[in-house]
């Protein structure tokens, strides 16, 4: 049987030493930057790969003595890091990029995005848009994304085609779309998709109510209950604009975070997106409850919505990371990371503490 040709940058290993462990591949980059220990850059090291797992990260001389790889991949000008995680995407909306730029959020949604989705949203629309997003994410070093959109089964197909990890949102919104007719239908369809894909090791699911201003109290309470019962997180837009907060106060006399607290959603399973208008007491509440924040700096800057006060969060031990939404507001991953770092610098965070993206 003929062996497959090695990849570019790869060569076949020399004959195995009798005492060495057979592995599939030895990757030899110029640098390796691990998550742990923090702040370390490894040189003259290698990654030993067996199957779909990293068998070891170790000094190059030790790797040659310990392993007999079937293939050696040399990357003399590359850095190898763990894959980045995009904490907030509407991946299929790559197909809507450039539509309605330079509009306030509410105007953009009501006069551009929602009417277009009413006309074109379908399984194939989500599949093709997510395929494009997956290619762009991989080019930016992103290997996992947390998505909030319709037809999660289509997004799942795209993610699996590209070998990406995805946390897929069981999206809920209080008006009908091509995906579902009402809140109960959104939940039923989302849960059915989760059940159908529960054995896929690269996929997980979260409950994804769109925002406090588009989901009713009874639905949010149901989502809080399901989150606890199923042990899945909740992914929601929150305090994205000042208008959202003022409208909520006009309707209920509360800020949106106060309302979510009353309904039981503020807890360690909550991924709150944007959060650019937070009071100090709300930051403290998030810290006490273990809330995670995806602060989406590029989107916030594009909308002129200020930026998330991440400078206060290291002191509060509030988890945070970056997302960018992959639609008309977006730009490549490296630019989003740069924006996050600049926002951190503006708030006086020293470089070693600028956690701009989860990985």
Per-residue pLDDT of the chain in tens (359 residues, 90 and over written 9): 444 444 556 555 555 566 899 999 999 999 999 988 889 999 999 999 999 899 999 999 999 999 999 999 999 999 999 999 999 999 999 999 888 877 888 898 999 999 999 999 999 999 999 999 999 999 989 999 999 999 999 999 999 999 999 999 999 999 999 999 999 999 999 999 999 999 999 999 999 999 999 999 999 999 999 999 999 999 999 998 999 999 999 999 999 999 999 999 999 999 999 998 899 999 999 989 999 988 777 665 666 555 555 655 554 444 545 444 443 334 455 555 555 554 444 444 444 443 433 32
pLDDT of residue 146: 96
Q: How far apart are CA 150 and CA 92, in angstroms?
A: 9
pLDDT of residue 358: 34
pLDDT of residue 299: 65
pLDDT of residue 140: 87
Q: How far apart are CA 46 and CA 28, in angstroms?
A: 5
pLDDT of residue 5: 44
Q: How far apart are CA 8 and CA 3, in angstroms?
A: 15
Q: 235: which 2 tokens?
A: 């992914």
pLDDT of residue 348: 45
Q: Please tell me whether residue 234 adopts helix, strand or coil conformation.
A: strand
214 alpha-carbon distance from chain centroid: 22
CB of 80 within 8 A of CB of 47? yes
pLDDT of residue 295: 74
pLDDT of residue 294: 87
CB of 293 within 8 A of CB of 272? yes
pLDDT of residue 98: 84
pLDDT of residue 330: 43
Q: How far apart are CA 214 and CA 114, in angstroms?
A: 12
Q: How far apart are CA 38 and CA 68, in angstroms?
A: 30
Closest to 179 measured CA to CA, from 210, 221, 218: 210
Q: How far apart are CA 14 and CA 277, in angstroms?
A: 59
pLDDT of residue 345: 43
Pure H helices in the chain: 60-66, 105-108, 114-120, 123-139, 152-161, 183-196, 217-230, 242-252, 256-263, 280-289, 297-303, 313-316, 333-346
Q: 258: which 2 tokens?
A: 């106060």
pLDDT of residue 301: 62
| Phi, psi of 62, deg, nearest 5 | -65, -35
- Sorted by where each starts, the structural domains of the chain and their CATH numbers stand as 10-80 (2.30.40.10), 84-353 (3.20.20.140)
> What is the model's pTM?
0.83
Tally of helices (H runs) and strands (E runs) in the chain = 13, 14
Using a 10 angstrom Cβ sphere, with 0-12 exposed, 13-18 middle and 19 or more buried, the burial of residue 101 is exposed
pLDDT of residue 255: 97
């Amino acid at each position: 049987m003929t062996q497959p040709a090695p990849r570019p940058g790869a060569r076949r290993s020399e004959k195995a030493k009798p005492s060495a462990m057979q592995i599939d591949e030895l990757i030899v980059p110029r640098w390796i930057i691990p998550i742990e220990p923090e702040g370390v850059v490894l040189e003259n090291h290698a990654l030993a790969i067996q199957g779909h797992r990293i068998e070891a990260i170790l000094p190059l001389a030790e790797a040659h003595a310990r392993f007999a790889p079937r293939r050696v991949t040399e990357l003399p000008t590359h850095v190898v890091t763990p894959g980045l995680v995009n904490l907030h995407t509407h991946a299929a909306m790559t197909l809507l990029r450039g539509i309605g730029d330079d509009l306030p959020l509410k105007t953009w949604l009501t006069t551009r995005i929602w009417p277009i989705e009413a006309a074109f949203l379908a399984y194939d629309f989500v599949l093709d848009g997510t395929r494009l997003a997956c290619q762009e994410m991989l080019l930016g070093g992103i290997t996992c994304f947390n998505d909030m959109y319709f037809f999660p089964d289509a997004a799942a197909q795209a993610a699996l085609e590209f070998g990406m990890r995805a946390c897929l949102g069981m999206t809920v919104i209080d008006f009908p779309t091509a995906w579902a007719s009402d809140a109960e239908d959104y939940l039923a369809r989302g849960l059915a998709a989760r059940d159908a894909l529960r054995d896929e090791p690269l996929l997980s699911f979260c409950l994804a109510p769109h925002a406090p201003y588009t989901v009713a109290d009874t639905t949010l309470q149901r989502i809080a209950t399901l989150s606890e019962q199923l042990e899945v997180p909740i992914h929601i837009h929150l305090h994205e604009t000042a208008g959202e907060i003022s409208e909520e106060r006009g309707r209920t006399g509360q800020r949106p975070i106060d309302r979510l607290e009353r309904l039981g959603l503020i807890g360690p399973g909550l991924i709150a997106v944007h959060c650019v208008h937070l009071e100090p007491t709300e930051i403290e509440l998030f810290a006490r409850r273990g809330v995670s924040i995806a602060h989406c700096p590029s989107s916030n800057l594009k909308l002129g919505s200020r930026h998330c006060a991440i400078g206060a969060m290291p002191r509060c031990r509030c988890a945070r990371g970056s997302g960018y939404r992959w639609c008309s507001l977006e730009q490549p991953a490296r630019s989003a990371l740069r924006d996050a770092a600049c926002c951190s610098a503006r708030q006086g965070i020293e470089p070693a503490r600028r956690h701009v993206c989860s990985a």
